[in-house]
Amino acid sequence: MRDPTPLPIRLEDYAPPAFLVETVDLDVELFEDHARVRSRLAVSRNPKSNDSNAPLVLDAE
């Protein structure tokens, strides 16, 4: 259910991301009953980030 009055998001509320994604390589295989996706990322810390100790967290299945 959607909130009828969404809160404004202001530019001042944003912070630079802790990491930058330089490249993304995807290998996708499609089968009759499933798909397989392999990915390779080149990631580096963002020197403009306010949190130089932030962990890199990947959320995948």
pTM for this predicted structure: 0.67
pLDDT digit string, tens, across residues 29-41: 999 999 999 999 9
Tell me the C-alpha to C-alpha distance, in Å, between residue 25 and each of 14, 28, 43: 28, 10, 12
Tell me the C-alpha to C-alpha distance, in Å, between residue 41 and each of 14, 19, 20, 26, 58: 24, 12, 10, 9, 11
pLDDT digit string, tens, across residues 6-61: 889 899 999 999 999 999 999 999 999 999 999 999 999 999 999 989 999 988 77
